[in-house]
Amino acid sequence: MSKHTLVKSFASHRGRDAFSGTPEQVAEYKEISEALNKEARENWDNPEFHRQVAADLASELDYGFTFENLFSSYFSTETVGEFDRVVLKERRGLKVYYVARGGHVDETQLRTEQWELPRDTLGFHIREFEDKLRANFADEIAAVAELGKARLNAEVNRRIFNTLQAAVPSNSPFYADGAGLDKATLDDMIREVKDAIQPNGMGPVPVTIIGRASMVDQISDFPGWLNEAQEEIRTQGRLGVYKGCNIVQITNFTDEDGESYIPPNELWVFGGNVGKFALYGDLRVKTWNEHTVDYQHYRAVKDIGGLVHHPEQARRFIDTSA
């Protein structure tokens, strides 16, 4: 395969330079596109070419999924081997007594609480007409990489929110609603989450405030900000930290029909050990051709798993006025 590989050439050019950018960038995109199209037509019946395509797609999709997604910035995430088991253990039961010097110290016994992360598969499967691919292979395969990353990222964020929602339903004591988010309500949520967090021996456990722009922007409207905070709001359009909690503005991820995955009126406050998410091994991509008809298939899968085992460290707020 020539130097015009999918990962090197199109991951960095697609969308950014294809229709905009400097004349040099547009010209570079066109040159790479034409070279890749020529390579695809000349090697279409070469199995090695399609294996390289699958390897390039796997590399690009996995990198985008793992390193360009923000879910690991707000939810405890671990990357493990493809066949590893992820087991969470907490040891309790040890008591410390204050006694007179030389007095009797009562015995205690340790107990273990253990959770194993479930394991599911995340993936997509595309079927395209061969002539459509051969006519403009560069743009078509770049779109697979671009849309594949976006959809995988959207799905894993949706999964995290669905897991949180299942752990804190509307009848939970950790659920609240009201017509708009006010300072007193948010302060109470933060205080309750901080009080529920147990030390893990690794230093302070971070607390995160997360929601779409329609919710986190309400924090900027609270009265009484100092000049420094007002300047941060003015220059950046939002606050980065509130009462020691990181504020994460989640992307409005949508499905193929434009429907939002994450509600616009939902805000969360939770501690860093409210749950765990695991990514198992690398993303795997296969490509093959149907023997009886002229269709090419691309399938990408990755194993994931997650749970919320400390719902008491989360608070969910629904804005009923939205």
| Model confidence pLDDT, tens digit, residues 103-120 | 999 998 888 888 898 899
The answer to whether residue 149 sits within a structural domain is yes
Q: Residue 222 domain-assigned? A: yes
Measured distance CA(124)–CA(145) in Å, rounded: 11
36, with CB counted inside 10 A (0-12, 13-18, 19+), is buried
CB 285 within 8 A of CB 300: yes
- pLDDT at position 312 over 70: yes
pLDDT at 70 over 90: no
Q: Do 48 and 183 lie in a common domain?
A: no
Task: Give mean pLDDT, residues 151-175.
Answer: 93
Could you list the residue range(s) of the whole structural domain that residue 13 is in?
Answer: 6-69
In this structure, is residue 77 part of a structural domain? no
Q: What is the pLDDT of residue 99?
A: 92
* pLDDT for the residue 235: 56
Q: Are residues 220 and 314 in the same domain?
A: yes
Same domain, yes or no: 156 and 284 = yes
Amino acid letter, residue 4 = H
Contact 136, 142 (CB under 8 A): no
Both 288 and 218 in one domain: the answer is yes
CA separation for the pair 284, 301 (Å, rounded): 5
pLDDT band for position 224 (50/70/90)?
low
Residues 138 and 259 both lie in one domain: yes
Evaluate whether 176 touches 186 at the Cβ level (below 8 Å): no
Predicted pLDDT of residue 138: 86
Burial pattern 210-232, b for ≥16 Cβ within 10 A else e, equals bbbebbbbbbbebeeeeeebeeb
Question: What gap in Å lies between CA 65 and CA 68, rounded to an integer?
Answer: 6
Q: Where are the beta strands (DSSP E) in the chain?
A: 77-80, 87-92, 111-116, 120-129, 175-178, 207-211, 241-242, 245-249, 266-271, 275-289, 295-308, 314-319
Q: Do 124 and 181 belong together in one domain?
A: yes
Residue 78 is assigned to a structural domain of this protein? no
Which pLDDT belongs to residue 126? 93
Q: How far is CA 83 from CA 65, 78, 119, 127, 278, in A?
A: 19, 14, 10, 29, 12
Task: Give domain status of residue 75, yes or no.
Answer: no
**CA triplet 309, 315, 321: central angle to 5 degrees?**
140
> Using an 8 Å Cβ cutoff, are 16 and 10 in contact?
no
Are 53 and 95 in the same domain? no
104 and 34 share one domain = no
Q: Are β-strands 87-92 and 120-129 bridged in parallel, bridged antiparallel, or unpaired?
A: unpaired
Spatial contact of 38 and 126, defined as CB atoms under 8 Å apart: no
The two structure tokens encoding residue 56: 């390039």
Domain count, the chain: 3
CA distance 30 to 138: 10
**Same domain as 201, residue 95:** no
Tell me what the pLDDT averaged over the chain comes to: 84
Asked if 45 and 112 sit in the same domain, the reply is no
pLDDT for 173? 96
Residues 236 and 302 in one domain: yes
Q: How confident is the model at residue 246 (pLDDT cuts 50, 70, 90)?
A: confident
Q: How far apart are CA 294 and CA 37, in angstroms?
A: 18
Strand 275-289, strand 241-242: pairing: unpaired
> Does the residue 14 lie in any domain?
yes
DSSP 170: T
What is the pLDDT at residue 120?
Answer: 92
> Are residues 142 and 160 both part of a single domain?
yes
